[in-house]
């Protein structure tokens, strides 16, 4: 890439005339404004060497700045010169650009005479066209080198292409930084004296001393660097870059409640999911019933009874995706009841002996929790408690019926009974 910057200066001088032959003091007039104006025009060509084949081209970006550093809108005249003489040797996309702008120079067709099979340098010149503000302006120019087809480029055995890349074992979607600073010319780092072209082996290319790239698939890619010195000599190096499958995310998402009743809000939370070396940017949920959701947390209600496989796919900032292991969710009808159950210890108590009733094996309705246990001991005593284990002492012998009723958070109740005989 070639860049040319030019600064124009216009000066204003004050003339003073002294009349007569008497010398006297003259007061210095006040300054009315700046005495010098400067404007800079910059021309940047993305390529400064073209093949003379009638189709090769380079884009030239042209900008203008005023003395205050602000961008200017300037009309220009553009012309092609060869050896200092105006010559339409090739074509310009426009000869009347206005800054800021980009004009395209296209190389002329290949010469037909063997005697003309030599490299040619053309000069693209622009001059401010608004003479009212830029009288006496000097033209700005940039050189483009044309190489006839089949020309033998110079060789430079001392030019060595070399590069490094980090991380050394990249993964799909990870940003890889390439650096050609270790390329040398005659034992000295070439740096900005050379140009650098990259072929990443996946159908994409890049330019520059340093560059970055993201590989979209796992494979071994042959990355090629071509270094060109100021004389046009080139050297290249190819290195195999192994791109691995991304490390899968760790952690799981939670579902609550589970199991869940139908037509009840179910909560999903993936905040515990982590992806080493990556930033998760999106969460895509599939609830297994034909509906989807998004976000690190979300909610959903299931309208039907059944078993659903919940999946979560996460995406990182580079566009790489990974799917977590699915979670199976059992969804039951909202009206289904739980079951009450209890044990009695000892099974054959005596009068005055403490008897323990344990209803901890009772189950709530789907998606609920038991909030109350009602113990009816059969002797007229009834006790409500959130504790499933209670005790009671009987004062008389005989046979009685014990009942335990449970009530859960869904408002559903369930009852269990047992016959108990109390010995004297």
Secondary structure, 3-state, the chain: CEEEEEEEEEECCCCCCCCCCCCCCCCCCCCCCCCEEEEEEEEEECCCEEEECCCCEEEEEEEEECCCCCECCCEEEEEEEECCEECCCCEECCCCCECCEEEEEECCCCCCCHHHCCCEEEEEEEEECCCCCCCCCCCEEEEEEEEECCCCCCCCCCEECCCEEECCCCECCCEEEEECCCCEECCEECHHHCEEEEECCCCCEEECCEEEEECCCCEEEEEEEEEECCCCCEEEEEEEEEEECCCCCECCCEEECCCEECCCEEEEECCCCECCCCCEEEEEEECCCCCEEECCEEEEECCCCEEEEEEEEEEECCCCEEECCCEEEEEECCCCCCECCCEEECCCCECCCEEEEECCCCECCCCCCEEEEEEECCCCCEEEECCCEEEEECCCCEEEEEEEEEEECCCCEEEEEEEEEEEC
The residue with greater pLDDT, 198 or 261, is 198
pLDDT at residue 135, rounded to an integer? 52
Band (pLDDT 50/70/90 cuts) for residue 317 is confident
pLDDT at residue 16, rounded to an integer? 34
> Using one digit for the tens of pLDDT, what is the confidence trace for 222-236?
999 999 998 888 999
Q: Is the pLDDT of residue 393 over 60?
A: yes
> Using one digit for the tens of pLDDT, what is the confidence trace for 150-173?
655 677 889 999 999 999 999 888
What whole-number distance in Å separates Cα of residue 230 and Cα of residue 287? 61
The token duo for 280 is: 């998760």
pLDDT at residue 64, rounded to an integer? 87
What whole-number distance in Å separates Cα of residue 395 and Cα of residue 252? 56
CB 367 within 8 A of CB 330: no
Q: Provide CB contacts within 8 A for 113, sequence distance 6+.
A: none
Q: Is the pLDDT of residue 341 over 90?
A: yes
Q: Is the pLDDT of residue 27 over 80?
A: no
pLDDT at residue 150, rounded to an integer? 67
The residue with greater pLDDT, 260 or 25, is 260
Q: Give the range among 85-89, 268-272, 282-286, 382-386 with minimum mean pLDDT.
A: 85-89
Q: How far is CA 86 from CA 78, 79, 89, 195, 248, in A?
A: 11, 7, 9, 29, 64
CB 301 within 8 A of CB 308: no
Question: Which CATH number is associated with domain 343-422?
Answer: 2.60.40.10
2-12+37-148, CATH topology level: Immunoglobulin-like (2.60.40)
**What is the number of alpha carbons within 13 Å of residue 42 lying toward its C-beta?**
12
pLDDT at residue 13, rounded to an integer? 32
Q: Taking residues 247-251, report their average pLDDT.
A: 87
Q: Taking residues 185-209, report their average pLDDT.
A: 94
pLDDT at residue 30, rounded to an integer? 42
Superfamily of domain 254-332: Immunoglobulins (2.60.40.10)
As a whole-number percent, the residues of the chain with pLDDT over 70 amount to 85
Task: Among 59-73, 74-88, 117-131, name the most confident range.
Answer: 74-88
pLDDT at residue 14, rounded to an integer? 30
> Using one digit for the tens of pLDDT, what is the confidence trace for 199-215?
999 999 999 999 999 99
What whole-number distance in Å separates Cα of residue 250 and Cα of residue 168? 23
Q: Is the pLDDT of residue 3 over 60?
A: no
Q: Taking residues 66-90, report their average pLDDT.
A: 87
pLDDT at residue 156, rounded to an integer? 86
What Rg do the C-alpha atoms of the chain give, in angstroms? 43
Tell me the domain boundaries of the chain: 2-12+37-148, 159-243, 254-332, 343-422
Supply angle C-alpha 100, 106, 111, rounded to 5: 155
Q: Taking residues 315-341, report their average pLDDT.
A: 81
Pairing assessment for the beta strands 49-52 and 140-148 based on DSSP bridges: parallel
Band (pLDDT 50/70/90 cuts) for residue 359 is very high
Band (pLDDT 50/70/90 cuts) for residue 15 is very low
pLDDT at residue 60, rounded to an integer? 94
Superfamily of domain 159-243: Immunoglobulins (2.60.40.10)
Q: Is the pLDDT of residue 148 over 70?
A: yes
What whole-number distance in Å separates Cα of residue 288 and Cα of residue 297? 17
- Measured from the Cβ of residue 358, the count of other Cβ atoms closer than 10 Å reads 16
Band (pLDDT 50/70/90 cuts) for residue 180 is very high
Q: Is the pLDDT of residue 144 over 80?
A: yes
- Dihedral pair phi/psi, residue 230, rounded to 5°: -60, -20
């Amino acid at each position: 890439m070639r860049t040319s910057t030019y600064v124009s200066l216009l000066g204003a001088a004050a003339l003073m005339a002294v009349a007569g032959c008497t010398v006297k003091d003259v007061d210095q007039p006040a300054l009315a404004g700046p005495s010098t104006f400067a404007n800079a025009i910059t021309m940047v060509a993305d390529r400064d060497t073209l093949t003379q084949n009638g189709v090769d081209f380079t884009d030239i970006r042209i900008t203008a700045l005023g003395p205050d550093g602000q961008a200017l809108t300037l009309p220009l005249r553009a012309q092609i010169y060869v050896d200092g003489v105006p010559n339409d040797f090739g074509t310009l996309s426009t000869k009347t650009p206005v800054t800021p702008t980009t004009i395209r120079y296209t190389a002329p067709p290949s010469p037909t005479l063997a005697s003309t099979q030599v490299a040619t340098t053309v000069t693209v010149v622009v001059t401010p066209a608004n003479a009212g503000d830029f009288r006496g302006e000097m033209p700005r120019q940039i050189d483009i080198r044309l190489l006839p087809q089949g020309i033998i480029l110079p060789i430079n055995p001392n030019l060595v292409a070399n590069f490094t890349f980090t991380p050394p074992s990249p993964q799909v979607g990870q940003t890889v930084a390439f650096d050609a600073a270790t390329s040398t010319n005659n034992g000295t780092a070439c740096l900005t004296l050379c140009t650098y072209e990259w072929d990443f082996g996946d159908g994409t290319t890049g330019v520059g001393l340093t560059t970055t790239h993201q590989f979209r698939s796992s494979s071994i890619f042959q990355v090629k660097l071509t270094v060109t010195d100021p004389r046009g000599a080139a050297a290249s190096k190819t290195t195999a870059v192994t791109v691995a499958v991304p490390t899968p995310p760790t952690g799981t998402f939670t579902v609550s409640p589970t199991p869940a009743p139908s037509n009840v809000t179910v909560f999903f939370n993936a905040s515990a999911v982590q992806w080493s070396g990556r930033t998760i940017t999106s969460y895509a949920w599939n609830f297994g019933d034909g509906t989807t959701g998004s976000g690190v947390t979300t909610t959903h209600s299931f309208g039907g009874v059944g078993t659903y496989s919940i999946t979560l796919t996460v995406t990182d900032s580079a566009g790489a995706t990974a799917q977590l292991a699915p979670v199976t969710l059992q969804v039951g009808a909202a009206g289904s009841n739980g079951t009450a159950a209890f044990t009695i210890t000892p099974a054959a108590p005596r009068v005055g002996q403490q008897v323990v009733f344990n209803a901890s094996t009772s189950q709530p309705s789907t998606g609920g929790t038991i909030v109350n246990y009602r113990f009816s001991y059969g002797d007229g005593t009834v006790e409500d408690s959130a504790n499933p284990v209670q005790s009671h002492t009987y004062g008389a012998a005989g046979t009685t019926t014990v009942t335990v009723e449970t009530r859960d958070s869904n408002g559903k109740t369930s009852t269990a009974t047992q016959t108990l005989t109390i010995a004297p």
